[in-house]
Structure 1
Amino acid sequence: MTKGQRAGDSAIAVEVEKDKSYYWCSCGKSSKQPFCDGSHKGTEFTPLAYKADETKKMFFCSCKQTNNQPFCDGSHNK
Structure 2
Amino acid sequence: MSIIMSETISIWVTTTLRQPWILSKIAAPKAQLSTLPSEPVIASKKPLKVDLVGGKRYSWCTCGHSKKQPFCDGAHKTKAEGLVPLRFVPEQDSTAWLCGCKYTNNPPYCDGTHKQDFIKSAQIPEQTNS
Aligned to 2:85: 47
Q: What CA distance in whole angstroms lies between the structure 1 residues aligned with 2:82 and 2:44?
A: 20
Q: Kindly state the Cα deviation for residue 52 of structure 1 after the two structures are TM-superposed.
A: 1.1
Query: d(CA) in 2 for partners of 1:74 and 1:51?
Result: 22
Q: Could you tell me how far 1:4 is from its partner in structure 2?
A: 1.0
Check if 1:72 corresponds to 2:116. Answer: no
Q: Per-residue CA shift, 1:9-63, capped at 9, x if unaligned? A: 1111111011001100000000000000000004110000010100010110010
- Identity rate, percent: 40
CA distance in 1, matches of 2:39, 2:108: 12
Tell me whether 1:32 sits opposite 2:33 in the alignment: no
Higher relative contact order (CA 8 A, sep 6+): 1
TM-score for the superposition, normalised by structure 2: 0.57
Largest Rg, 1 or 2: 2
**Which amino acid in the other structure matches residue 50 of structure 2?**
V
TM-score, length-scaled by structure 1: 0.94
| Matched residues, number | 78
Q: Pick the aligned partner of 1:8 from 44, 51, 54.
A: 44
Instruction: Report which of the two has the higher share of helix.
Output: 2
- Runs of 4+ with >2 A deviation: none
What one-letter code is carried by the residue in structure 1 that aligns with 2:106?
N
Which secondary structure state, in structure 1, belongs to the residue aligned with residue 76 of structure 2? coil
**Distance in 1 between the 2:55 and 2:39 partners?**
27
